[in-house]
Structure 1
């Protein structure tokens, strides 16, 4: 009898664990009753009573017309009462884009084939050549110091080159005269420009991300495409898009800029249009734009359009010289000095033909913007911030190798290694996220939740990378000047944190707010069908939801009791990383269960619980980052040299996810739900330690030496050359350092025996030391020259710029030009 009862519990648990269909439950119960009767464990009477009790329940649950009539119809009525109301703008935001790998992570049982089968991102030969030639040359034409301290913009030469070579039309198809680049190529170009000059990166990325070109491609009329796209591709038009209002920043859907439908004169004829008044700010490229994209709230009080009196947000495309358009003075965003400023207009008549997509798209502007942002957010800021991180890691890694204190490179100190490990580990992770997001876009996906994760976490980790870099190089990073490679990035990081959705909002509202509805396998269907009164699909979603909930309870309990030891890793996964695949699956199950319990206990108030949704979103985000790291390792052919990066990044993501889980349990509004999650999901705790010192030392060591691991980590950066900019002295010294080290190792015995003193820490004395070593026959003339060149470059690398007492920047730049003149003359002659 005990075995029979335990068998029932075991079979029921297995069916729950696998979310079995009701037909399997019916077969299982029937087999159990028959087994008890056949084995004479229960009497025929008892078996009959059991069958009589269970059969109606199974009939009710398996016979769908009966189930819908008795259970689902009243459930739908109740669900309508408790369902949170969504405005049209909220609904457009939620439904923007689509779901992808994020849905697998959210659902508690990720199908690894969906991730691992995604093709690795790659460039065509044409795209690679553009990156190697045109992009490299544009990098040569710009730098952060001159754009911020001389031009307060790109130089005229750089602007002309960017327009001429098609940088402003990378996403425009070739049929319209553009480059027709992939999302990954777009990302690679922005990344490379960001390793050199943020103003160049921003000036290029804005026309190629959320702006008129993107909107025209997807929604424009043929006439609009044929007119504007070739002009945008040639740089003949410079676009901007005006969305943010002084009174509607993060709540952009509540913009107060209005356009009243009316009739007016246009080109000598009376035509239908809008009389628009607007006040916009923070509009990138507005001061130099020739064509203005504008979002406003359309109002039709006289019913001239024949529909609603308030159609909603609408997007128009207006030439800068259109009567009434006012481009204001410039903003100055933290020395980023890309063109940015306000725009305004009062009762400006705009004909209907300027509506993007024509009259049919009046009121569809918010959906258009959200769908484009779902893609654009995954490219622009992740790419630019990965680029800045590569600049920091590449240059700081070189700097700590050549900079000596206490007679050893400062990169040898454990305190410095901690910071270096964070820098390199975060870079490996964020670049993995950037690559995976771009790969998804190139496969036709528009994953809005993934794009929000990429924007928030890449920019936040870039902030950590830059801050650590400033801490390591100390005064070198504090003193401004043309020789400072990091200060402008440090100043400009808050810009990325703020734009395209401030990070606080992105974390607490967008990532989980969209994820909870879009990524959940049943919630959005329940909301749609309940609202529409569609009983049949509501019934399927409702019972799917119930099975999903109990499946995750069973999985969480199993994994919690076993520590996830028996979770399978995907077939063919790298053996060294199987534990990370298992940890991902377990945390995915915990996230799914916690989400359902939070929605059940907090209800419609969940979207106002920013701390709670932020922590749930953190778990989802860290799982995406972790799986991006695993995918990158596979895409790059499992290079063993990169394993320290992979382990550090994976352990850091798990540690952050674990911290979010513990904080969730400690602060959940429903203490009952928190206790249930603790007892079922993590009865023995969640072991997610941070990367240890040994791992950190290995990571730090890799970025201080030349090698394939370092090369892959900073791949896609500008090639620093002293003939272009003396700022490259750090890299020039780093390139020579291995040979200098080899000479020093060879002279160890001579130093011990007193034939020559130890090499001086003061680099200005190193050339004299080399000359003395040569005179004593310890090194040859080539080695002396090698050491002398290294000393000159390294000394230049550690120096800081100085200026006259009155801060005459022009004089300082003149000195710089004088220093560069011989090199430039020699290069020109060659």
Structure 2
């Protein structure tokens, strides 16, 4: 019996040490203390104690005396590590080093510091930013007719003028250079609001405020370049574009074949040192109307004219030149999914420009890739998440209203459980999108979180696709028929654009999120690689043994939290969200241990196991978005109205994490290791089920009616409460319905049972009900007015035979047809 107690005590002691992540010296002290306790309790005698110490003391010295450890253990491991360390190109290194590690690092490392998240201050709009959103942006939205923009294949001239005049293209340019100097969050809100009115206008605004000449000049331009160019960009005198992608380089921008060769040449009548450029770019937004073009090219200096005759290739370089520079071919357009924002190719053959046209001057020759990656990592967290949030806000508000107004079998379609399943996804994903948008844009205001913005870009655009598909399903034919009344058409039509641009979603998921996250977020992997490249044995020794301790700790934490259902995990709050914080910490520990073992077993092969790394990326992504949702929930006051929305998002995220882990373990090539990982992460089996029907029903029911949360979630939605506005018409109709709903239900019941079958028209039905004193004449007027609004709200557009002349709200009658003929 005493032996069993001793064994269990040893397991408990070292389990606690591992769970707490204790230092090596404490492990050593605990081992000696345990041997002493065994001796004192007579569980071992003097001989056994001496033999135990004879083994323990040398091991303690070997691992605790760093010089000895380095020489005997670490040095051979260091040699082996360097031998298998994969080569890393300069492009890969710059991509990895670009940007910052933010909250995603905490979630990746298995023991998140919740105080860091909860104490983080989300950006709020300044008075100036709020005024711009409420006034200039509101005015711009009122000027836009999305259907007419589609027919004209361009924004109206007055809209272009208004956007230039009011600096919509200069939100990121600082006030020092004539711009607005808005926060990333403010830019996100402006783009979101415009996108709820016109996708074409929103893309037109977002591109100059994302990756482009303005941002590159702000961060890297010379003083002279800033003085010469930024005021013109800020005033709208110059409209910029940036050429990165081309026929041979899409998501693999590092493979661009476009070149610049350093040479002497003539520019404006003078012989100057410059570059001869040859390039072919496509998918370039604003190219057809741009005044100045940014280009990414590969720079070569065969004659050593830049001063270093031993350096032939400088690498990717960013150049800025006028659109009318001789040799530049520009002006043609693409037609992106029949969404007519200005987008087209740029070509150049033997285009000569001075060397000073490099952004940042000659000193920045070859530094373009890092510049681009850093700017793109920030912009990715603003523009496309804003488009996704805009689509969700419009779909959420409009679908909720439509599902209450539209009735089948005398019941609002939003009450049917099948419809509620889709409605709940719209509501839950809208809450998740808004939480992720606000937290991510706020993060961009403080740093450049490259992994977080990749997560936001991929998952938010994918969620947009899901909820718009659900909205289309609920609307049925109302969502299919194109015309000015269709408020879903533009966003649904443009889904592939958001999915594709700024890094195709497939590659973002399969290569970037975990591939970059595993190295950047891990506390030891990238430093170990750097120590190996610098041949620094001392630093590698420290990192290696810290890494081993980290892995043991995360493995024990994952198993312990799995056995206890996460109840030993920390939470920064009490109340209904407490268990969700604990479950996320549990999954974070499982991800940290699984990632460590995976990288150790697969090594460089993991880079080619895209589906495996994508699943671990899905875990990291869901952890980030779920924690962002908890942050948003508490920042908004943890209101009762928000609670089922938060529960839906967290239950869905945890179920998705379970699914991703399960698929990862099922497909891991080493089955023994897969079994170990599954046992550690899920010792009691999978623990999270899909969202319960009860919670889905609550939020689906909630979105049918006005409320404070509905207004908060859609605060950036442009809403014109007019019968001539498609969403405004729905809002007016919904308000009227809620005002007379008991009366309308009484009338509908009477029509079905009390007034006879021969009253076909609404007028006949109302008259019959008044005659039978079921309703009063005044009530009949109210019902008639509501029904007029209802019919207008559910009608679809109809055109003449050639689809040219549009009857804005109803089918063309015979008289109109004869006039048209």
TM bin, normalised by shorter chain, reads over 0.9
Q: How does 1:181-196 map to 2 (within 5 A)?
A: 181-196=182-197
- Which residue is equivalent to 1:219? 220
Deviations 1:768-796 (A, max 9, x none): 65566567766667654443332222111
Number of the residue aligned with 1:827: none
Q: Secondary structure at the match of 1:659?
A: helix
For 1:44-193, what aligned pairs fall within 5 Å after superposition?
44-149=46-151, 151-193=152-194
- Structure 1 stretch 681-690 or stretch 48-57: which is displaced more? 48-57
CA distance in structure 1 between the aligned counterparts of 2:146 and 2:235, rounded to whole angstroms: 25
Which residue of 1 is the match for residue 696 of structure 2? 696
> What is the CA–CA distance in structure 1 between the aligned matches of 2:746 and 2:448, rounded to whole Å?
58
Cα distance change on mapping 1:816 and 1:272 into 2, 3 Å: farther
Counterpart for residue 603 of structure 2: 603
Q: Partners of 2:778 and 2:710 in 1: how far apart?
A: 28
Does the 8 Å CA contact 1:183/1:438 hold for their aligned counterparts?
yes
Determine if contact 1:767/1:784 at 8 Å carries over to the other structure. no
Report 1:519-534 matches (<5 A).
519-534=521-536
Match of 1:311? Answer: 314
The 2-side partners of 1:167 and 1:325 are apart by: 27
Counterpart-to-counterpart distance in 1, 2:807 and 2:367:
53
Question: For residue 660 of structure 2, what is the aligned residue in structure 1?
Answer: 660
Contact 1:641 1:709 in 2 (8 A): yes
- Determine helix, strand or coil for the equivalent of 1:302: coil
Q: 1:530: Cα distance to partner? A: 0.7
Q: Report if aligned partners of 1:97, 1:446 keep a CA contact under 8 Å in 2.
A: yes
d(CA) in 1 for partners of 2:768, 2:132: 48
SS in 2 for 1:651: helix
Partner of 1:230: 231
Per-residue CA deviations over 1:176-202 (Å, capped at 9, x if unaligned) read 111111111111111111111100110
- The answer to whether the 8 Å contact 1:759/1:769 transfers is no
- Which moved further from structure 2: 681-690 or 199-208? 681-690
1:731-810 correspondence to structure 2 within 5 Å: 731-744=731-744, 754=754, 765-766=761-762, 769-770=765-766, 783-809=779-805
- TM, length-normalised to structure 1: 0.94
Q: CA deviation at 1:328?
A: 4.3
Distance in 2 (alpha carbons) for counterparts of 1:184 and 1:213: 18
In structure 1, the residue matched to 2:393 is 390
Deviation of 1:143 (Å)? 3.0
Shift of the 172–40 alpha-carbon distance from structure 1 to 2, 3 Å rule, reads same
CA contact (8 A) 1:196 1:391 kept: no
How much does 1:767 deviate? 6.1
1:581 aligned residue: 581
**C-alpha separation in 1, matches of 2:505 and 2:207:** 19
Cα 1:287/1:47, change in 2 over 3 Å: same
How far did residue 91 of structure 1 move?
A: 0.9
Structure 1 equivalent of residue 706 of structure 2 = 706
Say whether 1:479 aligns with 2:444.
Answer: no
Paired with 2:305 and 2:781, the residues of 1 have a C-alpha distance of 82
Residue 435 of structure 1 pairs with residue 447 of structure 2: no
**In 1, distance between residues paired with 2:464 and 2:757?**
39
Deviations 1:22-72 (A, max 9, x none): 111122122222223333332333323322211221122222222222222
The separation in 2 between residues aligned to 1:79 and 1:683, in whole angstroms, is 32
> 1:208 is paired with a residue of what secondary structure?
coil
Identify if the C-alpha distance between structure 1 residues 356 and 424 changes in structure 2 by more than 3 Å, giving closer, same or farther: same
For residues 380-427 of structure 1, what are the alpha-carbon distances to aligned partners after superposition, in whole Å with 9 as ceiling and x for unaligned? 000111101111111111111111111111111111111100111111
Q: Which residue is 1:822 aligned to?
A: none
Mean Cα displacement is larger for which, 783-792 or 25-34?
783-792
C-alpha distance in structure 1 between counterparts of 2:123 and 2:699, whole Å: 25
The 10-residue stretch of structure 1 (38-47 or 630-639) with the greater mean CA deviation from structure 2: 38-47
**What is the distance in 1 between the residues matched to 2:485 and 2:345?**
33
**CA, structure 1 residues 767+317, in 2 after alignment: closer, same or farther (shift >3 Å)?**
farther
Q: 1:77 and 1:182 mapped to 2: Cα distance?
A: 48
CA distance in 2, matches of 1:456, 1:726: 30
CA distance in 2, matches of 1:678, 1:626: 22
Q: Give the whole-Å Cα distance in 2 for the aligned partners of 1:626 and 1:73.
A: 42
- Output the CA distance in 1 between the equivalents of 2:231 and 2:724: 33
TM normalised by structure 2 equals: 0.95
- Counterpart pick for 1:402 among 400, 405, 410: 405
Q: Is the alpha carbon distance of 1:159 and 1:86 closer, same or farther for their aligned partners in structure 2, counting shifts above 3 Å?
A: same
Please name the residue that 1:495 is paired with.
497
Deviates more, 1:607-616 or 1:767-776: 767-776
Check conservation: 1:767, 1:787, Cα contact below 8 A: no
- Taking a change above 3 Å as real, the CA distance of residues 136 and 404 of structure 1, as seen in their structure-2 partners, is same
Deviation at 1:797, TM superposition (A): 1.3
SS in 2 for 1:146: helix
CA RMSD in angstroms, aligned pairs only: 2.3
Residue 642 of structure 2 contacts residue 709 of structure 2 at CA under 8 Å; is this kept in 1? Answer: yes
Sort the Cα spacing of 1:788 and 1:751 in 2 relative to 1 into closer, same or farther, 3 A.
closer
Asked if the contact 2:405–2:412 (Cα under 8 Å) also holds between the matched residues in 1, the reply is yes
Pairing of 1:349-748 with structure 2 (within 5 A): 349-442=352-445, 444-570=446-572, 572-573=573-574, 575-722=575-722, 725=725, 728-744=728-744
Separation of aligned partners in 2, 1:42 and 1:291? 84
Where in structure 1 are there 5+ consecutive unaligned residues?
Answer: 819-830
- Separation (CA, whole Å) in 2 of partners of 1:600 and 1:175: 50
Deviation string for 1:590-613 (max 9, x for gaps)? 111111111112110111111101
Q: 1:360 to 1:375 in 2, by over 3 A?
A: same
Which segment is superposed worse, 545-554 or 778-787? 778-787
For residue 277 of structure 1, give the secondary structure of its aligned residue in structure 2: strand
The structure-2 alpha-carbon separation of the partners of 1:328 and 1:160, relative to structure 1 and needing over 3 Å to count, comes to: closer
Which deviates more, 622-631 or 744-753?
A: 744-753
Given that 2:301 and 2:312 are in contact with CA atoms closer than 8 Å, whether structure 1 keeps it comes out as yes
1:147-191 Cα deviation digits (max 9, x unpaired):
112x21211111111111111111111111111111111111111
Q: Distance in 2 between matches of 1:298 and 1:816?
A: 61
| Residue deviations 1:47-100 (CA, integer Å, cap 9, x gap) | 233222112211222222222222222222211111122111111111110111
User: Match of 1:311, SS?
Assistant: strand
